[in-house]
Chains A and B, each alone.
Chain A
Amino acid sequence: MDTVKLTETGAAKPSEIKKKKWKILEMRELNLMLILLVIIIGLSLTNEYFATWTNLRVVIGSFSLDGIAVIGMTVILISGGIDLSIGSVMCLSMTICALLIRASVNPWLSALLALFGCAVAGLIMGLLITKIHLSHFIVTLCFLGIARGIVYALTTGTPISLVGALKDLPAFRFIGQGQVGGIIPMTVIIFLALAVASEIFVRKSSLMRLVFYTGSSEKAAAFSGINVDRVKLATCVTCSLFAGIEGIIYVNKFSGVPVSAGTGLEMTAIASAVIGGVSMNGGRGSVLGAILGLALMALVQNALTLFTAPPFWQDLIRYLIVLGAVLLDALQKNRAIRRMA
């Protein structure tokens, strides 16, 4: 009796496990796709304007812009953090880019410098979070004000117009206003390219796996030899950079900077991510889910406009729907847990 009988402890037989297919789509993503489908069918049946190209282009256009910031938000949420500053950082990117172009700097260089500015903002936030151990919430809340403050200081509060300047820059203008093949907006193509690349990166790369580990349990990650501070720093920079990219396209598309651009972007991005199944506690989420969440928000917004809902009711209705979507999912999850336990 020197050995313990190991077989009887019932380790699952490998053959049994292999049968279980690895899920490609999470439950939440499937649910969202169904809901979206229902809404799209419903809208096209009840409203004659919905399925028109003019309407869809507006929806997809704004969706493609905000979608870029949502990607960054997804990454930082997975790491267990949050970034409230993205709206202001986006506007900062627009302002830097626009001011440089107006000062006759090469537009591509201007864009790069603007992105660099955003990366620096992200880096400073990340350093405050990792080295001084301030919370994401506090640091990014402060930068929500600071970045917006810099915009006001630089512009003295007046909108910048680039209508004239961009006229002479057709190549640069193309990224925001161009249409491939005469119909598909370039912004949509940029967004889709970024989204697909990010989704693959989030799912498959080992770097992103480090972010998942950190978000799932920072302590366990550190004890597994992962440099947690570096991971958190990188996600802060990433999130600011995506906000910056959105800013560059925005400034291009609208040929200027309204100084209030990006206000409330953080709310849209967080709500989208949460609807799409990204965990606020970190460690779970996908770009696809978050983008589907944003699609839901965008469609609801569009429906409200099409049915000329009174403007002062729109926020109320929109966020009730956000709450509903999250509730639906939570209820379903609770039922599943009860079944399993």
Chain B
Amino acid sequence: MSKTGERMSGNLLELKNISKSFGSNQVLFGVNFELRQGEVHAIIGENGAGKSTLMNVVAGLLQPDSGEIIIGGESVRINNPFDARKKGIGFVHQEIALCADVTAAQNIFMSRTAIQAFAKPFMDYKRQSEEAREILRGLGSANIDPDACVANLSISSQQVVEIAKALSDSCEILILDEPTASLTETETNALYRIMRRLTLQGIGIIYISHRMSEIFEHCDRVSVLRDGCMISRYTVAEAGLQQLVNDMAGREVTTIYPKKSGKLEYRGNNPLLSAENLADANKRFSDVSFKLYKGEILGFSGLVGSGRSEVMQGIVGLRRLKRGKVIFEENDITGMTPQAIFSNGLLYMTEDRKESGLFLGMNIANNIPSTHLDLITSDGIINANRERELALRMIEELSVRTLGIAQNAMDLSGGNQQKLLIAKLLAKKPRAVILDEPTRGIDVAAKAEIHQLLRRLVTEDIGVIIISSELNEITGMCDRVAVMREGSLVGEVVGDDVNSNRIMYFASGAFKLDDAGGSAANMRASA
């Protein structure tokens, strides 16, 4: 995007020699960093490299042990988040943290309200709403109603509100932490437009992301953090993908997806799982039919909200179906309880490891057998030895990085939590697995490991379904792709046809124009 960094050379922010440790554990080692006016500067690194700690130092949530923070040429001390805002630093966290029950405008001016609570004890809601409208218009999002309750806004609108909130004080330095993690393709593009606007106004953006393509397309410079040290800094033009990946990992990591099964003769066999005319009791999807065969990875693509997760939850009994039939290994499993379906060997892994996946307050050993307690139980009593052995076997198999199986799930990094979630899924060898966003928000190395593992599962005659919002992952991993749009299955792509253009053609609804005589080539190009 903006290549204006060269034009304005003033550094908005400089970090010099920042070190930070917690107890005996040093997390940052003399980190240097600089942010120019009007540039987008990406910080990348594996989970646990120290990105969050560094950003928390900048945002005043943590105090560095040593080092200097220089804003606008002056050495400063940032005592708390309020202080950071006063110095022009806005922070948009990865997880949206808005008050859901009040309006967008009230969220945007939350900190101002807090500061002025005593000086101005009565709220002027009307003026506040107008000012909020102004800010939102400045972000090119005039369609968001400042008086709308945040709970009623879409995720992407909520994110815009977060950005507006960060900008509501005169913000010069904006930190975006994984802003696209929960956005759809279109919403992501809208965010890039907003970023471009802001950089043109001279705002500097620190951009944290795991998605390499974003960095190449939308950032000016990139700094790599590994194990608390700033390893390298490049202008995006001179950085190579493989170089960045190796810098992050500190070793050679392949970014190549494992080889696909290639042969498609399995399609003649009996399907492992077949869904016929499924319809949701809450109308999130209807008339969904598909088949899954042994030895293939079937991808479910489509925009967020197209009903992919809901279909899968309907299949395993976590949602009520209104109509339809689910056949698994020639047995009708329609209407069975999730427990019965899971113990039959058809498993579903949630997309949200924190909310609905792991028992964060419990330890690793306790988490793993939660779906299959029978593995470690005899006569109703849990055998602690068997539980420990199972846990040790699984964390070794999935190379979960941990201090031991008595460590709480909460204390693992994102990538290791995701591996633990998969360990839980595979505790008892399944016949078919459905993985919802199997690699969301985890680093490149962990991602590659999970991809290898999934491919290995398929060779063991297990059927695998992957739901993913990352087109790369879908095209890289899947032998066959089903595309959903607005609650229906709209297309299927097989074998060599599995590419992003083909998938977006269906997911975006372009095929409809095609049917109506429109130009498919045009749409494909724009997709």
Q: Is the CB of A222 closer than 8 A to any CB of chain B?
A: yes
Q: How far is the CA of A3 from the CA of B254 in the complex (A)?
A: 7
Report chain A residues within 8 Å CB of B396.
Answer: 11, 14
A206 touches B357 (CB 8 A): no
B371 touches A216 (CB 8 A): no
Given A6-B399, A207-B380, A338-B23, the answer on whether A17 and B404 have CB atoms closer than 8 Å is yes
Q: Is the CB of B360 closer than 8 A to any CB of chain A?
A: yes
A226 touches B452 (CB 8 A): no
Q: Is the CB of A219 closer than 8 A to any CB of chain B?
A: yes
Report chain A residues within 8 Å CB of B253.
Answer: 4
Report chain B residues within 8 Å CB of A225.
Answer: 337-339, 341-343, 371
| Partner among A4, A16, A17, A209 whose Cβ is within 8 Å of the Cβ of B448 | A4
Q: Is the CB of B359 closer than 8 A to any CB of chain A?
A: yes
Q: How far is the CA of A227 from the CA of B339 in the complex (A)?
A: 8
A223 touches B356 (CB 8 A): yes
Report chain B residues within 8 Å CB of A204.
Answer: 381-382, 384
A1 touches B360 (CB 8 A): no
Given A17-B405, A22-B406, A212-B362, the answer on whether A11 and B370 have CB atoms closer than 8 Å is no
Kindly supply a per-residue 1/0 record for chain A positions 324-341, scoring 1 wherever the CB is within 8 Å of any chain B CB and 0 otherwise: 000000000000001111
Kindly supply a per-residue 1/0 record for chain B positions 1-30, scoring 1 wherever the CB is within 8 Å of any chain A CB and 0 otherwise: 000000000000000000000110100000
Q: Is the CB of A50 closer than 8 A to any CB of chain B?
A: no
Count how many chain B residues have C-beta atoms less than 8 Å from C-beta atoms of the other chain: 57
Q: Is the CB of A150 closer than 8 A to any CB of chain B?
A: no
| Partner among B254, B341, B371, B448 whose Cβ is within 8 Å of the Cβ of A224 | B371
Q: How far is the CA of A17 from the CA of B364 in the complex (A)?
A: 12
Report chain B residues within 8 Å CB of A213.
Answer: 359, 362, 370
Report chain B residues within 8 Å CB of A9.
Answer: 399, 401, 445-446, 449
Q: Is the CB of A210 closer than 8 A to any CB of chain B?
A: yes
B373 to chain A, nearest CB (A): 5
B361 touches A206 (CB 8 A): no
Q: How far is the CA of A23 from the CA of B363 in the complex (A)?
A: 13
| Partner among A3, A23, A207, A220 whose Cβ is within 8 Å of the Cβ of B359 | A220
Q: How far is the CA of A11 from the CA of B446 in the complex (A)?
A: 12
B256 touches A2 (CB 8 A): yes
Q: Which of A1-25 contact B (CB under 8 A)?
A: 1-12, 14, 16-18, 20, 22-23
Q: Which residue of B lies closest to A203 (CB)?
A: B382
Report chain B residues within 8 Å CB of A340.
Answer: 22-23
A1 touches B252 (CB 8 A): yes
Report chain B residues within 8 Å CB of A216.
Answer: 359-362
Report chain A residues within 8 Å CB of B339.
Answer: 225-227
B318 touches A222 (CB 8 A): yes
B256 touches A1 (CB 8 A): yes
Report chain A residues within 8 Å CB of B251.
Answer: 5, 8
Q: Which of B21-66 contact A (CB under 8 A)?
A: 22-23, 25
B381 touches A217 (CB 8 A): no
A11 touches B395 (CB 8 A): yes
Q: Is the CB of B75 closer than 8 A to any CB of chain A?
A: no
B522 to chain A, nearest CB (A): 39
Q: How far is the CA of A151 from the CA of B403 in the complex (A)?
A: 55
Q: Is the CB of B400 closer than 8 A to any CB of chain A?
A: yes
Report chain B residues within 8 Å CB of A232.
Answer: none
Q: Is the CB of A284 closer than 8 A to any CB of chain B?
A: yes
A108 to chain B, nearest CB (A): 28
B358 touches A12 (CB 8 A): no
Q: Is the CB of B283 closer than 8 A to any CB of chain A?
A: no
B399 touches A283 (CB 8 A): no
Q: Is the CB of B366 closer than 8 A to any CB of chain A?
A: yes
Q: How far is the CA of A5 from the CA of B449 in the complex (A)?
A: 9
Interface centre among B337, B374, B399 (most CB of A within 10 A): B399
Q: How far is the CA of A60 from the CA of B366 in the complex (A)?
A: 36
Q: How far is the CA of A207 from the CA of B445 in the complex (A)?
A: 38
A11 touches B399 (CB 8 A): yes
Given A10-B401, A20-B404, A283-B362, the answer on whether A209 and B23 have CB atoms closer than 8 Å is no
Q: Is the CB of B402 closer than 8 A to any CB of chain A?
A: yes
Report chain A residues within 8 Å CB of B404.
Answer: 12, 16-17, 20
Q: Which residue of B lies closest to A281 (CB)?
A: B361
Report chain A residues within 8 Å CB of B263.
Answer: none
| Partner among B370, B405, B448 whose Cβ is within 8 Å of the Cβ of A221 | B370
B400 touches A11 (CB 8 A): yes
A12 touches B402 (CB 8 A): yes
Q: How far is the CA of A18 from the CA of B401 in the complex (A)?
A: 16
Q: How far is the CA of A215 from the CA of B474 in the complex (A)?
A: 36
B382 touches A227 (CB 8 A): no
A278 to chain B, nearest CB (A): 13
A241 to chain B, nearest CB (A): 19
Q: Which residue of A lies closest to B24 (CB)?
A: A339
Q: Is the CB of A179 closer than 8 A to any CB of chain B?
A: no
Report chain A residues within 8 Å CB of B337.
Answer: 225, 227
Q: Which residue of A lies closest to B446 (CB)?
A: A9
B361 touches A2 (CB 8 A): no
Q: How far is the CA of A18 from the CA of B400 in the complex (A)?
A: 16
Report chain B residues within 8 Å CB of A3.
Answer: 254, 452
Q: Which residue of A lies closest to B405 (CB)?
A: A17
Q: Is the CB of A106 closer than 8 A to any CB of chain B?
A: no
Q: How far is the CA of A243 from the CA of B486 in the complex (A)?
A: 52
Kindly supply a per-residue 1/0 record for chain B positions 249-287, scoring 1 wherever the CB is within 8 Å of any chain A CB and 0 otherwise: 001111010110000000000000000000000000000
Q: Is the CB of B350 closer than 8 A to any CB of chain A?
A: yes
B380 touches A212 (CB 8 A): no
Report chain A residues within 8 Å CB of B355.
Answer: 217, 219-220
A217 touches B359 (CB 8 A): yes
Report chain B residues within 8 Å CB of A219.
Answer: 355-356
A225 to chain B, nearest CB (A): 4
Interface centre among B259, B350, B373, B445 (most CB of A within 10 A): B373
A220 touches B358 (CB 8 A): yes
Q: Which of B182-241 contact A (CB under 8 A)?
A: none
Q: Is the CB of A205 closer than 8 A to any CB of chain B?
A: yes
| Partner among B23, B370, B380, B399 whose Cβ is within 8 Å of the Cβ of A226 | B370
Given A6-B449, A22-B406, A227-B339, the answer on whether A205 and B380 have CB atoms closer than 8 Å is yes
Given A22-B406, A205-B381, the answer on whether A17 and B401 have CB atoms closer than 8 Å is no
Q: Given contact pairs A3-B452, A283-B359, enumerate 7 new A-B contacts (beta carbons under 8 Å).
A: A9-B446, A12-B395, A206-B382, A209-B373, A223-B318, A281-B361, A339-B23
Interface residues of A (CB under 8 A from B): 1-12, 14, 16-18, 20, 22-23, 204-207, 209-210, 212-213, 216-217, 219-227, 279, 281, 283-284, 338-341
Instruction: Give me the 7 closest cross-chain CB pairs, A-B, nearest first.
Output: A225-B339, A11-B399, A216-B359, A341-B22, A219-B356, A225-B338, A206-B377
What would be 19 A-B contacts, judged by CB atoms less than 8 Å apart? A1-B254, A4-B449, A5-B251, A16-B404, A17-B392, A22-B384, A22-B388, A206-B380, A209-B366, A213-B362, A213-B370, A216-B360, A220-B355, A222-B318, A223-B350, A224-B370, A224-B371, A283-B361, A341-B25
